[in-house]
Amino acid sequence: MSIKVGIPRALLFYLYYPLWMTFFNEIGVQVITSGRTTREILDNGVREALADACVPIKLFFGHVMDLKDRVNYLFIPRVVCLNRKTVYCPKFLGLPDMIKYSLEGMPPLIDVRMDNRQGYGALLKAYGEVGRQLGVSKAAAYVAYGKAMLAHARYNSLLRQGFSPREALDLLQKPDRKPLRPKDHSLKFAVLGYPYALYDSFISVGLLDKMHKLGVGVVTAENIHPLLLALQRNCDLPKRLFWTFSDALLKAAHLLFKQKKIDGVLHLTAFGCGPDSLTNKFIELEAKKHRNIPFMTITIDEHTGDAGMATRLEAFVDMVRRRKEASLG
Amino acid sequence: MAKVTFPRMGESYRTFKMLLEDLGNEVIVPPRPSKRTLDLGVRHAPEFACFPFKILMGTYLETLAMGADTIVTTGGVGPCRAGEYAMLHHRILKDLGHTVRMIVFEPPRLHPFNFIRNVWALNRTRASIKGIITHIKRAWRKLQALDNAEKLSHVVRPREINRGSTTRVYRKVLDWIDQADTTGQIIEAEAAALDAIRSVPQDPARDVLRVGIIGEIYVLLEPASNLEVEEAMGNLGMEVERSMFLTGWTRDNTWNETTAGMTVKDAAAPYLPELVGGHGRDSIGNTVIYARRGFDGMVQLAPFTCIPEIVARTILNQVSKDCHIPVLTFFLDEQTGKAGMATRLEAFADLLRRKRQARPAQMLLPVG
């Protein structure tokens, strides 16, 4: 029987799952993920996590609890910095410790520290360490990491083509299927939000699906090439935002506002999100400079209801559509 | 002439006022944060920005109305969001139509040129480098004097015979230190101040609980933001030892790390080996250290939505179990009421008393 490693379907899952899955499969370890978010998973998380934590963290706790009895190891790396410039939210930095010290009956954690500010080989070393903990030779781990990087690159290129992570994951698993091009819509919105909130259709209350149903095309920060984002420099601020996701989001907002190819901007934020308190205000101040592109913020938490979300989205989309028709006609 | 202001943090404004005036600036002293400050701050700050952001927002707006045009504040390198606050404050003030100059001090070890440039901008008398160093040294001495007086007041308050007498004396001696101008006078004023606080009538036999305070620096240092929790705790018979003072924090973050800082890091290492920004790791390390020193309990103060303290609080559950030390957490924001806090503190004091009484009895129980 092979070793089973669990990867919770939350937080960094949406960006790094193909990488991690390929890596573990290559070193002969079976990967088990938690199921899609359900009411039960969320409730479990809300019960175990600190009340003041944000929904995505509570959800992570829930997914860990869903997995913990089914696996030999849990993979919760301490991801500090992956681009040599920006770090992740402090909650990510303390994530393995938060899990370790507040949940009971846990399988051993693989909590390798990933920080490539330490040197160019730091990530490679980190994956070598993951391999060592699972009893795999360094060489095998390095080869597996190389293949995983290829999978990651394929996944990223699918995201850049405009697919959402779920579609991209399906395409990766069935590569023979002809990739469906995203449909064209009459309206196009930028939907900005952290991948772990936006792409989890349970806590985002189906935001992306609802947009499609309303006939609105969607651009997210993940669909934009990182080089284009890097060209935004520091968005006229004296310092960049410290956190990788917030930095990308603000740059995406600046870029999309400047390109003027979108009809509206939505910012999805979780209740009590620390980095977003700044990011949201900066985007709002930028939106003020572009009066012709409407901007709306949607806050989600564990109590967000479907009807309320649908009403707000419909009202916003109707408003934008009417404006556009008025300006065209 | 430029009119300079800065964030208010406890009594430290007395030092900064002196230092900035020495360098030839006209200083607008920030008023003590009040209901009005908060209302202003809450109106213009983002909803989920933490409490210190809102207070500073309000303070800046108040001081700008008083005629200030330059704000001196601190930056940071993350991952705590306080490092970005100056930038957002500046943007919001600009959006509200204020023209203001922000002078942001980054950690000098990482950004030495920023430090030199800022000092040069504030040095209007064109004092020599030696002169600046003398001014800074004197200001530092004053800051130490203020901290020492505060530390002593925490020890004396739970033992005072007439309630409120320590606070009255403490308020009075602050002015003595404030009026001292030369280093000699500061030392003299400090000695007189400490003597005055020490001579408050005390009851040495009183059963006093020892409680450590940990948490985020701003809500620890600014009494208006924590609703004078130290005073309230002193009145409940708790001797308070705060883990953080401006002098200690500044030393750790400017030129070198003190050994105290190192041991806190070591103590926290088994629980949280990573710097999570703010004072998350310090909160954990200090809890371990205070528990070893035989403290009765800990009080954690944090602004609502403070990320590092949320991480710390999650882990503190286990630390509390391992080290047998109760931890009471207050997440503070503009909604926090004094009565609710007092009730929780009273219950906590009762719990600690009972725990202390139960301790010898448990030891007498036969094992097995």
Domain boundaries, chain A: 4-172, 183-328
Question: Is residue B113 domain-shared with residue B228, that is, in the same domain?
Answer: no
**Predicted TM-score (pTM) of this structure:** 0.91
Residue B31: pLDDT band (50, 70, 90) is very high
Question: Is residue B14 domain-shared with residue B112, that is, in the same domain?
Answer: yes
Burial of B263 (0-12, 13-18, 19+ CB in 10 A): middle
**Domain of B202, in residue numbers:** 134-207
**Residue B365, pLDDT score:** 44
- pLDDT at residue A280 tops 60: yes
Q: State the average pLDDT over residues B249-258.
A: 67
Question: Is residue B271 domain-shared with residue B317, that is, in the same domain?
Answer: yes
Buried b (16+ CB within 10 A) or exposed e, A122-146: bbbbbbbbbbeebebeeeebeebbe
CATH number of the domain that residue B29 is part of: 3.40.50
- pLDDT at residue B6 tops 60: yes
Domain A4-172: assigned CATH number: 3.40.50.11890
- pLDDT at residue B20 tops 90: yes
Percent of chain A with pLDDT over 90: 69
Question: Which residue in the set A94, A238, A276 is minimally distant from B274, CB to CB?
Answer: A94
Question: Is residue B85 domain-shared with residue B168, that is, in the same domain?
Answer: no
Q: State the average pLDDT over residues A60-64.
A: 95
Q: Residue type at B236?
A: L
Q: State the average pLDDT over residues B306-325.
A: 92
Q: Do A89 and B310 touch (CB under 8 A)?
A: no
Question: Is residue B41 domain-shared with residue B178, that is, in the same domain?
Answer: no
Of B207, B235, B251, which one is at a domain's C-terminal end?
Answer: B207
- CA neighbor of B50 nearest in space, from B74, B82, B26: B82
CATH number of the domain that residue B268 is part of: 3.40.50.11900
Question: Is residue B65 domain-shared with residue B192, that is, in the same domain?
Answer: no
CA angle B42, B43, B46 (to 5 degrees): 65
Of B164, B180, B207, which one is at a domain's C-terminal end?
Answer: B207
Burial of B225 (0-12, 13-18, 19+ CB in 10 A): buried
User: What percent of the residues of chain B are helix, what percent strand, and what percent coil, each to the nearest 5?
Assistant: 60, 10, 30
**Residue B135, pLDDT score:** 93
What H or E segment, with its residue span, contains residue A188? Answer: strand A187-192
Local structure of residue B108 (DSSP, 8 states): T
**Residue B368, pLDDT score:** 40
B283 contacts: CB under 8 Å, gap ≥ 6: B214, B215, B243, B300, B309, B312, B316
Chain centre distance of CA A270: 13
Question: Is residue B202 domain-shared with residue B213, that is, in the same domain?
Answer: no
Q: Which residue has the higher pLDDT, B367 or B5?
A: B5
Residue B253: pLDDT band (50, 70, 90) is low
Local structure of residue A118 (DSSP, 8 states): G
Query: Count of H helices and E strands in chain B?
Result: 15, 8
Interface residues of chain B, partner chain A, Cβ below 8 Å:
46-50, 53, 75, 77-81, 83-84, 87-88, 91-92, 95, 104, 271-278, 280, 304-308, 310-315, 317-319, 331
Q: Give the number of other CB atoms < 10 A from CB of residue A241.
A: 25
Q: State the average pLDDT over residues A124-146.
A: 93
**Residue B62, pLDDT score:** 95
Q: Among A17-21, A160-164, A247-251, which stretch is predicted with the lowest mean pLDDT? A: A160-164
Which ipTM score applies to this complex? 0.90
Instruction: Provide the number of structural domains found in chain B.
Output: 3
Q: Among A171-180, A261-270, A298-307, B272-281, which stretch is predicted with the lowest mean pLDDT? A: A171-180
Interface of A with B in 45-104 (CB under 8 A): 49-50, 52-53, 78, 80, 87-91, 93-94, 97-98, 101-102
Choices 1.10.3720.10, 3.30.70.100, 3.40.640.10, 3.40.50.2300: CATH for A183-328 = 3.40.50.2300
Local structure of residue B29 (DSSP, 8 states): P
Q: State the average pLDDT over residues B113-123.
A: 92
Cα(B219)–Cα(B242) distance, rounded to whole angstroms? 12
Enumerate the residues of chain B whose CB falls inside 8 A of the CB of residue A239: 75, 83-84, 87
Question: Is residue B202 domain-shared with residue B214, that is, in the same domain?
Answer: no
- pLDDT at residue A235 tops 90: no
Question: Is residue B201 domain-shared with residue B293, that is, in the same domain?
Answer: no
Q: Among A73-82, A199-208, B98-107, B256-265, which stretch is predicted with the lowest mean pLDDT? A: B256-265
Question: Is residue B41 domain-shared with residue B143, that is, in the same domain?
Answer: no
Enumerate the residues of chain A whose CB falls inside 8 A of the CB of residue B331: 52
Question: Is residue B215 domain-shared with residue B361, that is, in the same domain?
Answer: yes
Sheet strands (E) in A207-253: 216-219
Chain centre distance of CA A196: 4
Tell me whether domains A4-172 and A183-328 share a fold.
yes
Whole-number average pLDDT of chain A? 90
- pLDDT at residue B2 tops 60: yes
| The token pair that represents A216 in the structure block | 């609105």
Question: Is residue B138 domain-shared with residue B262, that is, in the same domain?
Answer: no
Q: Do B87 and A238 touch (CB under 8 A)?
A: yes
Q: Residue type at B316?
A: L
**Residue B364, pLDDT score:** 44
- CA neighbor of A94 nearest in space, from B318, B272, B303, B215: B272
Of B102, B125, B148, which one is at a domain's C-terminal end?
Answer: B125
- pLDDT at residue B261 tops 90: no
